[in-house]
Amino acid sequence: MSTLHTVNKSPFERSAFSSALNHLKPGDAVLMIEDGVVGARKGSAFAGLLESAAKSCAIYVLEPDLAARGMGETDVIQGANLVDYGGFVDLVTTHQRTQAWL
């Protein structure tokens, strides 16, 4: 019965990221896409929040969006999983519903 939450806005600009994290249930997944990927950057002001969410939820980052912004696997918090577009589709199909925070 779990939910896939997508976040497509930077937490430095909008509250979508914080709202998504505030409405997670254990076992849910968070996928960061578009400008949302900057919220996964390790050492950022939001890294701590994401790391605590990662204890009960799976965290995914869309690799092409990360690469487009000059970042890669070593730039994101530990525990975040990189996925490609195929992985995005898999996440949608393996969760009950998707909530697209924007």
Partner 1 sequence: MADDAQQQVKKSFMYVNRKAPYGTIYALEALEVVLISAAFEQDVSLAFLDDGVFQLVKGQNTAGIGMKNFSPTFKALGDYEIRQLYVERESLEERGLTSEDLMEITWEDEEDDYAKKPSIRIVSRMELTEVMAQQDVLLNF
Among 10, 15, 36, 72, binds partner 1 (CB under 8 A): 15
Check if the beta carbon of residue 30 is closer than 8 Å to that of residue 52. Answer: no
Among 16, 30, 57, 80, binds partner 1 (CB under 8 A): 16
Q: Does 102 bind partner 1 (CB under 8 A)?
A: yes
| Closest distance of CB 96 from partner 1, Å | 8
DSSP state of 76: B
**Rounded distance, CA 48 to CA 77, Å?**
9
Contact 4, 97 (CB under 8 A): yes
Residues that bind partner 1 (CB under 8 A): 1, 3, 15-16, 19, 22-25, 97-102
